Amino acid sequence: MAVGGGVALLSRSELLVAGMPIVYFWVLLWFILTSVCLAASWHFFDRKDCGDEEANEERRTEREGSLSSELSSYSR
């Protein structure tokens, strides 16, 4: 939404930022921000799932076991 809205609003502008038209700068800025946000998301949420496959399988099994025990306690 930010990219599309920004492009629509800035498409007729003749301003230059860092030697390029502002609409190109806007798209480049959001490309970089999206990459930074995805990297931060991976770092904080998914990094632990990457790497040793045996450890990942153990974690997955533990999560599934705890989830099934929680669900069975609710159904009683």
Question: pLDDT digit string (tens) for 8-34?
Answer: 777 777 888 888 888 888 889 999 999
Query: For residues 13 and 23, is the Cβ–Cβ distance under 8 A?
Result: yes
Please give the residue range of the domain that contains residue 37: 2-75
Q: Look at the chain and report how many structural domains it folds into.
A: 1
Show Cβ contacts of residue 30 under 8 Å, excluding neighbours closer than 6 positions.
2, 3, 6
pTM for this prediction: 0.52
Distances (CA, A) of 67 to 8, 12, 24, 59, 70: 46, 54, 47, 12, 5
Query: For residues 27 and 11, is the Cβ–Cβ distance under 8 A?
Result: no
Q: How confident is the model at residue 5 (pLDDT cuts 50, 70, 90)?
A: confident
CA 14 to chain CA centroid, Å, is 32
